[in-house]
Copies of this chain bind each other. A is one copy, B any other.
Amino acid sequence: MINVVLLGYGNVGHHLHKTFNNASQVEVVQIYNRKPISNEITTPTTTSISDIQEADIYIIAVLDDAISEVSTNIPYTNKLVVHTSGAVPMNALSTKNFKGVFYPLQTFTKNKTVDFSKIPICIEAQREEDLNLLRKLGQTISNEVHQVSSKERIKLHAAAVFVNNFVNYLYQIGQDILKPEGLSFDLLKPLIIETALKIENQNPEDIQTGPAKRNDVRTIQNHLNLLEDFHHKNIYQSFSKAIQDKYHGKKL
């Protein structure tokens, strides 16, 4: 049995708690959160970090900027303390405990259940024995546990910003373009799903399509003419230049 104290009950903390609760080899002995937790949960909670219990692993799942401070305030030494962030180096953690990272590479939404079994869990630790413990913890919830250095993790996180945050913003733009015409965003949903499913078995480089890929400058110009928002135009141009450059060697 691996005993865990969870520090932070935002999206990541909430989903980790839920999935650990379903894993037979893990027990979340306590959750610390700055504010009282309103959800009905049976796990003991506290809003005072000085009251946290002994455990095998302390998992900090708070906002990036607060990780360092929370790690400093843990009232123990020589314990394993990990954070769950893609963007923060392991060394941001206080030196009074042994450091590690337990980063689930996924986007979490409060009311949407996530199947952890395929989510890559990126682990890192100072000590070999801690790495083994984090691997064991990861394997209780996922089949994809990977050792990833801080340098690699920052790159993974940057890549995730492109394929998650920026992709979601493109969905917003699609919706924004349809709105003035009274056209429903639902019209785009089958295309959005299929676009994502296509890369499961195909290389995105090989399946790129569209006006810029065809170097169809007339359609590109037509689209630029109908786009009214400055940012939409700017993003359209940035992509078209990049895609034309890649597939047609257009230098700027």
Contact = CB atoms under 8 A, between A and B. Distances in A.
A189 interface: yes
B195 A107 contact: yes
Interface stretch (A27-35, A72-80, A170-178): A170-178
A223 interface: yes
Interface in A192-237: 192-200, 202-205, 207-213, 216, 219, 222-223, 226-227, 230-232, 234-236
A188 to B, nearest CB: 5
Taken together, the copies of this chain in the complex come to: 2
A213 B237 CA distance: 22
Given A171-B199, A183-B152, A235-B242, A163 B178 contact: no
A120 B177 CA distance: 17
Nearest to A160: B191
Given A158-B223, A168-B204, A202-B109, A195 B163 contact: yes
A177 B189 contact: no
Nearest to A196: B196
Interface stretch (A16-24, A45-53, A111-119, A128-136): A111-119
A155 interface: yes
Given A163-B170, A165-B213, A167-B195, A219 B155 contact: no
Interface residues of A, number: 88
A40 interface: no
A165 B209 contact: yes
Contacts of A174: 159-160, 162-163
B120 A190 contact: yes
Nearest to A118: B190
A166 B191 CA distance: 12
Contacts of A232: 162
Nearest to A178: B159
A87 B219 contact: yes
B107 A239 contact: no
A236 to B, nearest CB: 8
